[in-house]
Chain A
Amino acid sequence: MMSAMDIGAEKASGGEGITYRYPAELGVWLFVFADMCIFAMYFAVFVWEKNLNPAMFTEGQASLSTQLGGLNTVVLLISSYFAAKAVHSARLFNIEVYKRFIKLTMFCGLIFLCVKFVEYSDKFSAGFDIATNAFYRNYFAFTGFHMLHVIFGLSFLAWLLFSVKTVEQLKEKTQAIEGAGLYWHMVDLLWVVLFSLLYLVP
Chain B
Amino acid sequence: MTERKPLIIVAVVSMLMTTILYAGGMFYISGFLPPPSPGLSQLEVVGFYQQNHTAIIAGLTMAFVGTGFMLPLCVIGSVFMAEVEEGFPYFSVMQALSALATVIFTALPNFIWMTAAFRVDRSPELITMLHDLGWIMWATPSWGFAFQLICVAVVGLKDKRPKPFISRWMSYLALWVAVGVAPTPLVPFFIEAGPFAWNGLFTFWVAFFSPIFWIALLFVVIANDIRAGQQETVTGSI
Contact = CB atoms under 8 A, between A and B. Distances in A.
Interface of A: 25-28, 30-31, 34-35, 38, 41-42, 45, 130-131, 134, 137-138, 141, 145, 148
Interface in B93-140: none
A7 B109 CA distance: 58
Interface in B159-197: 168-169, 171-173, 175-176, 179-180, 182-183, 186, 189-190, 194-196
Interface residues of B, number: 20
Contact of A137 (B171, B172, B179, B196): B196
B202 interface: yes
B33 interface: no
B206 interface: yes
Contacts, number: 48
A30 B196 CA distance: 25
A131 B194 contact: no
B176 A34 contact: yes
B196 A141 contact: yes
A89 B161 CA distance: 29
Contact of B183 (A30, A134, A138, A141): A141
Secondary structure call for the B interface? helix
B202 A25 contact: no
B169 A30 contact: yes
Contacts of B168: 25, 27
Given A27-B168, A27-B171, A30-B173, A38 B206 contact: yes
Contact of A35 (B171, B176, B202): B176
A34 B170 CA distance: 12
A31 B175 contact: yes
The 9 closest A-B pairs by CB, nearest first: A27-B172, A27-B169, A31-B172, A34-B176, A27-B168, A131-B189, A45-B195, A31-B176, A130-B189
Contact of A145 (B171, B183, B190): B183
A148 B114 CA distance: 36
Contact of B206 (A31, A41, A131): A41
B172 A148 contact: no
Interface in B197-229: 201-202, 206
Contacts of A38: 179-180, 202, 206
B13 to A, nearest CB: 29
